[in-house]
């Protein structure tokens, strides 16, 4: 039964991923995500409904437009698969609950933000700002893992921490360190995750950024936006955060008594 439920969630998540692709393409260029219907970005030919089915359409056309044969970017399939997989993992962790719904909404926003920031190096306010009221609504319902007080503290702490870093960096270098989009995003994440979650996300995202920087080396001149690291850090917290924290505390306490 659980396997069937996970399969249903995966397919539904993949369908949402198909819609997220529309958002990823249209939001940065300020186009409606509703009208017109999905079309090829090269020849503008509308995509038939049956080719909008996740995976099926891409495989049937071998990753090309059915009309002009232009190549369809690799990220379309990746977004669908990632969304289906993450939604399934959330269901596996939280089951059919309000917490599951809460994190489905958060992760949905984060997937869109990840690819927009990766491709365009921007985090639109239309994606980061709604996270604050949405997180507060879930917290106010008192049926999630973070209460209203914790939600407010988490959002405020994340915002002030990033804003303080950006301000200090500006005063020292007269250059922008963290962008306004990153500051707004961490505030939204903090509202959803609370004080523990937001700082876990900050430190884990910084660790991931450091690892990638060491791998890339000094010769790589292209800038990597920080939004994807925040998204990755948030996902690490959702799935493993408290396990890592409890493991660390247990290790620390055991070491202290040696």
| Torsion sign, CA atoms 163, 164, 169, 171 | positive
* Whether the predicted pLDDT of 63 surpasses 90: no
Average pLDDT score, the chain: 88
Confidence of residue 142 (pLDDT cuts 50, 70, 90): confident
Q: What is the rounded average pLDDT of the residues 6-24?
A: 94
What whole-number distance in Å separates Cα of residue 198 and Cα of residue 204? 10
The H or E element spanning position 8 is helix 2-26
Residues 190, 156: contact at Cβ < 8 Å?
yes
Residue recorded with tokens 């692709």: 21
3-state SS, residue 46: strand
Confidence of residue 185 (pLDDT cuts 50, 70, 90): very high
Residue 169 or 89, more confident: 89
Which range has highest mean pLDDT (21-35, 120-134, 236-250)? 120-134
Q: What is the DSSP letter of 238?
A: I
* Whether the predicted pLDDT of 237 surpasses 80: yes
For the chain, what percent of residues have pLDDT higher than 90?
Answer: 59
pLDDT digits (tens, 9 = 90+) for 190-222: 999 999 999 999 999 999 999 988 888 766 556
* Whether the predicted pLDDT of 91 surpasses 60: yes
pLDDT digits (tens, 9 = 90+) for 19-28: 999 999 999 9
Q: How many CB atoms lie under 10 A from the CB of residue 84?
A: 23
Q: What is the rounded average pLDDT of the residues 93-119?
A: 95
Q: What is the rounded average pLDDT of the residues 77-98?
A: 95
Burial class (CB in 10 A: 0-12, 13-18, 19+), 53: middle
* Whether the predicted pLDDT of 72 surpasses 90: no
Cα separations in angstroms, 254 against 200, 240, 242, 248, 251: 22, 21, 18, 10, 5
The H or E element spanning position 85 is helix 75-94
Q: According to the model, what pLDDT value does residue 255 have? A: 64
């Amino acid at each position: 039964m659980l396997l069937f439920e996970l399969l249903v969630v995966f397919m539904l998540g993949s369908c949402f991923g198909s819609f997220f692709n529309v958002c990823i393409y249209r939001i940065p260029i300020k186009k409606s995500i509703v009208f017109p219907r999905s079309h090829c970005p090269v020849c503008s030919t509308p995509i038939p409904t049956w080719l909008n089915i996740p995976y099926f359409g891409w495989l049937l056309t071998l990753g090309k437009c059915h009309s002009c044969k232009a190549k369809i970017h690799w990220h379309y399939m990746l977004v669908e698969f990632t969304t289906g997989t993450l939604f399934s993992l959330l269901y596996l962790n939280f089951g059919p609950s309000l917490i599951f719904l809460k994190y489905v909404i958060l992760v949905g926003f984060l997937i869109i933000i990840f690819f927009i920031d990766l491709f365009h190096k921007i985090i639109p306010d239309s994606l980061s700002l709604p996270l604050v009221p949405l997180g507060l609504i879930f917290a106010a319902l008192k049926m999630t893992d973070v209460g209203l007080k914790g939600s407010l503290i988490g959002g405020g702490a994340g915002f002030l921490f990033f804003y303080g870093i950006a301000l200090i960096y500006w005063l020292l270098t007269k250059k922008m360190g963290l962008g306004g989009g990153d500051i707004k995003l961490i505030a939204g994440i903090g509202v959803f995750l609370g004080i523990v979650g937001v700082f876990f996300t900050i430190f884990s995202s910084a660790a991931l950024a450091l690892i990638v920087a060491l791998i890339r080396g000094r010769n790589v001149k292209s800038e990597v936006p920080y939004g994807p690291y925040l998204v990755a850090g948030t996902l690490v917290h959702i799935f493993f955060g408290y396990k890592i924290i409890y493991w660390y505390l247990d290790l620390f306490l055991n070491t202290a008594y040696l």
